[in-house]
Structure formats: structure tokens, C-alpha cells
Amino acid sequence: MTTLGAATEARVCAAFADTALLTAEAACALLGIDTKSLRALTNDGVIRAVRRGGGGHRAYTEGDIRAFLTESAAPVRDPRPRSNHTAQAVVPFSQRKARTGTADRR
């Protein structure tokens, strides 16, 4: 198991000193990312969140923060959806001259 560095360990301990759950804003401050990035990481399943309250606000546990910091790799995303353009064969440059029938004369 990978451990956190001394500075990061101190920050995590301080963040969870008097609470069991961090708000999204507090988690962003701890991780050094913005709320949009945290939301994307949560939606992609890279970091786990729990829902709290009637409004469904996201909150983060110490275990989930530690798991993200020590075990997560860069998020693996699905490849971008392909467009509906028709596939064209790739033709090497040397064959392009022969295909068009014109030779480059200098």
C-alpha cells in the first residue's frame, strides 16, 4: 500500500480532525482542484462520494480521499465517439503521385 507524504498526511489529518465527511468545497481545497474537476472525477468513478442531506449534496470520507490519493491512476476514459464521416484509406505520399497520374517535375 502506498503511503502519503508527510505534508499531505498532515493536511488530510487536519481536514478530518473534527469531521467524518468533507463537503465538496473542502475536498477541493484539500486536493487542490476545482469543483468542476472533482465533480468529473466523481462522475467517472475515480473518486467515491456519498450523498448527504435531502438535497443530495456530495461528501467525501477520509478513506475515499486516501484511496484517491494513493491508489488512483489517471482516469481511464472511453475513447471519444467516432464521427459519422466515411472512412478514407491512408495513402502514402509516394503512392499519391502514382494515383493521380501526375509526376512532380522541376
Which domain covers residue 13, as residue numbers?
A: 6-71
3-state secondary structure of 14: helix
pLDDT in tens, 6-46: 888 899 999 999 988 999 999 999 999 999 999 999 998 88
Query: pLDDT tens digits, residue range 91-100?
Result: 677 776 655 5
What residues have CB less than 8 Å from 22, skipping those under 6 apart? 15, 16, 30, 59, 60, 61, 65
Say if 78 falls within a structural domain: no
Flag whether 98 is in a domain.
no
C-alpha cell recorded at residue 19: 469531521
Amino acid at 97: K
Q: What is the CATH number of the domain that holds 41?
A: 1.10.1660.10
Residue 45 lies in a domain: yes
Nearest to 2 by CA among 67, 75, 84, 93: 67
User: How many structural domains is the chain composed of?
Assistant: 1
- CA 27 from centre of chain: 15
